[in-house]
């Protein structure tokens, strides 16, 4: 009996959590089509709220984010393409609002830095391994005495 | 030569250290304005004092001016307000107000109570002009030159320090430029 109660309680909790997660503040806007809705939401997800800064336009409750979100949705319904909408945002709030910054001289270090670090790491690794291998080979040469002792040990083992 | 190679990690560490140390002193709340060097966005909005009078961007040209975004719901604007009133008395440059996402009646009451520092007050009820200006909070102020080009944006309340250290020298320089243009 108590098990059943627990299961039901669990289900209720799960349902409430799912609906809470889905309760984005977007509900008020009606898109002209499902494709527009998908594109609008995707765009708003990629744009940063200039006020709260660590949230995108969908997650944020700030009035600025609400305005910008609706502006983006309207532009999608008007048939503007992604580049035009991003241009609208960056001309007002700067590159900052893009979670994916454009590739340009200012952002080379962002885009290429990790690749450069990886290559540098691989280079160091490669040099290190090569060095180890060369050292390893030279250490394998034994002196005549050592060789004799080794032979003696091996013969004893085979007996 | 081989010894030098050993110093590479130290060099990398120092470069990253300097980079990150500088980062400690950046203010992430301060965004560069994308509008510096661009003209004031075109608009046509009601004057705060009367719904029948329209103000357009053309009316803000001609003189170096300060464009101040404010609202009654914004506590920092209340802090900034007495300073603006004092500036108005000094008569250095016209201050244009943008009453941002606000209600007309309380805004007018506030000005009556605290003094009105604004030459013209623009009523931006739904925040469209604010959006075009890239405003993300209030107060924000823009220094606009005599041709109507935005030259500087300051986010946050203006006080004596920011005024005398940054804004006033810039305004002085722009006014000199304007005077030269007027003479030519």
For residue A46, what are its two tokens? 């990629």
- Mean of all residue pLDDT scores within chain B: 89
For chains A and B, count residue pairs whose Cβ atoms are closer than 8 Å: 37
Identify any residues that bridge with A151 across adjacent strands, giving them in sequence order: none
Tell me how close the Cα of A38 comes to any Cα of chain B, in angstroms. 24
pLDDT greater at residue A5 or residue B11: B11
Quick one: DSSP state of residue B38?
Answer: S
Q: Per the CB < 8 Å rule, is A51 touching B33?
A: no
Tell me how close the Cα of A140 comes to any Cα of chain B, in angstroms. 25
Dihedral Cα B118, B122, B126, B127, nearest 10 deg: -70
Q: Is the pLDDT of residue B70 over 60?
A: yes
Q: Quick one: closest CA in B to A87, which residue?
A: B34
> Phi, psi (5° rounding) for residue B92?
-85, -40
What residues of B are in contact with residue A93 (Cβ under 8 Å)?
A: 31, 34, 134, 136
What pLDDT, on a 0 to 100 scale, did the predictor assign at position B15?
93
What pLDDT, on a 0 to 100 scale, did the predictor assign at position B169?
94
Long-range contact set of residues B44-52: C-beta below 8 Å, sequence gap at least 24? B45/B122, B45/B123, B45/B124, B45/B129, B46/B122, B46/B123, B46/B125, B47/B120, B47/B121, B47/B122, B47/B123, B48/B97, B48/B99, B48/B104, B48/B107, B48/B108, B48/B121, B48/B122, B48/B123, B49/B108, B49/B121, B51/B104, B51/B123
Instruction: Report pLDDT digits (tens) over A63-117.
Output: 888 888 888 998 999 988 888 999 888 888 888 888 888 888 878 888 899 999 9
What pLDDT, on a 0 to 100 scale, did the predictor assign at position A23?
46
Average pLDDT over residues B149-164: 92
* Reported confidence tier of residue B67, pLDDT bands at 50, 70, 90: very high
CA B180 to centroid of chain Cα atoms: 24
Average pLDDT over residues B38-64: 91
Task: Measure CB to CB from residue B34 to each of A64, A71, A93 and give the nearest one.
Answer: A93
Task: Kindly give, in sequence order, each residue whose CB lies less than 8 Å from that of residue A5, ignoring residues fewer than 6 positions away.
Answer: none
Is residue B91 within 8 A of residue B31, CB to CB? The reply is no
When scoring B7, B136, B142 by the number of chain A Cβ atoms within 10 A, the one with the most, hence best to mutate, is: B136
What residues of A are in contact with residue B34 (Cβ under 8 Å)?
A: 90-95
Identify any residues that bridge with B55 across adjacent strands, giving them in sequence order: B45
Q: How are the residues of chain A apportioned to helix, strand and coil, as percentages rounded to the nearest 5?
A: 70, 5, 25
Q: Per the CB < 8 Å rule, is A53 touching B29?
A: yes
Q: Per the CB < 8 Å rule, is A93 touching B31?
A: yes
Residue pointed to by tokens 């709220």: A49
Task: Measure CB to CB from residue B136 to each of A64, A91, A95 and give the nearest one.
Answer: A64
Tell me whether residue B39 is exposed, middle or buried, using C-beta atoms within 10 angstroms of its C-beta: 0 to 12, 13 to 18, 19 or more. middle
What pLDDT, on a 0 to 100 scale, did the predictor assign at position A53?
73
ipTM of the complex model: 0.71
Question: Sign of the CA dihedral B21, B26, B28, B33?
Answer: negative
Please, what is the Cα angle at B159 between B157 and B165, to 5 degrees? 115
Q: How are the residues of chain B apportioned to helix, strand and coil, as percentages rounded to the nearest 5?
A: 45, 20, 35
pLDDT greater at residue A45 or residue A6: A45
Q: Is the pLDDT of residue A146 over 90?
A: no
Q: Quick one: closest CA in A to B34, which residue?
A: A94
Q: Is the pLDDT of residue B34 over 80?
A: no
Instruction: Report pLDDT digits (tens) over A17-69.
Output: 555 444 455 556 788 888 888 998 988 888 988 887 788 888 888 888 888 88
* Reported confidence tier of residue A140, pLDDT bands at 50, 70, 90: low
What pLDDT, on a 0 to 100 scale, did the predictor assign at position A100?
82
Is residue A93 within 8 A of residue A67, CB to CB? The reply is no
Identify any residues that bridge with A48 across adjacent strands, giving them in sequence order: A56
Instruction: Report pLDDT digits (tens) over B86-144.
Output: 999 999 999 999 999 899 999 999 999 999 999 999 999 888 899 899 888 889 999 99
């Amino acid at each position: 009996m108590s098990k059943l109660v627990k299961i039901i309680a669990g289900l209720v909790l799960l349902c409430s959590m799912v609906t809470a997660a889905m309760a984005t503040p977007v509900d008020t806007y009606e898109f002209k089509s499902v494709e527009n809705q998908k594109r609008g939401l995707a765009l708003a997800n990629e744009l940063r709220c200039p006020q709260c800064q660590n949230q995108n336009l969908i997650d944020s409750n700030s009035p600025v984010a609400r305005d910008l979100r609706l502006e983006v949705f309207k532009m999608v319904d008007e048939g503007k393409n992604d580049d035009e909408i991003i241009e609208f945002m960056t001309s007002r709030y700067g590159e900052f609002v893009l979670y994916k910054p454009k590739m340009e001289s200012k952002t080379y270090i962002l885009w290429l830095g990790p690749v450069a670090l990886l290559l540098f790491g691989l280079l160091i690794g490669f040099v290190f391994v090569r060095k180890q291998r060369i050292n390893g080979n030279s250490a394998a040469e034994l002196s005549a005495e050592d060789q004799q002792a080794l032979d003696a040990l091996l013969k004893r083992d085979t007996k | 030569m081989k010894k030098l190679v050993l110093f590479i990690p130290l060099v990398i560490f120092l470069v990253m250290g300097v980079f990150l140390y500088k980062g400690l002193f950046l203010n992430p709340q301060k965004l560069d304005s994308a509008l510096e060097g661009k003209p004031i966005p075109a608009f046509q909005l009601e004057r705060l004092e009367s719904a029948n009078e329209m103000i357009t961007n053309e009316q803000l040209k001609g003189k170096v001016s300060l464009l101040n975004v404010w609202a009654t719901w914004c506590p920092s604007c209340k802090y900034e307000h007495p300073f603006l009133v004092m500036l108005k008395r000094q008569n250095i440059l016209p201050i244009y107000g943008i009453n941002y996402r606000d209600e007309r009646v309380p805004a007018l009451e506030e000005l009556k109570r605290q003094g009105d520092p604004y030459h013209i007050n623009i009523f931006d009820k739904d925040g469209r002009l604010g959006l075009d200006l890239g405003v993300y909070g209030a107060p924000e102020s823009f220094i606009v030159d005599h041709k109507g080009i935005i030259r500087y944006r300051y986010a946050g309340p203006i006080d004596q320090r920011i005024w005398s250290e940054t804004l006033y020298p810039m305004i002085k320089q722009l006014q000199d430029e304007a005077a030269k243009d007027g003479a030519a």
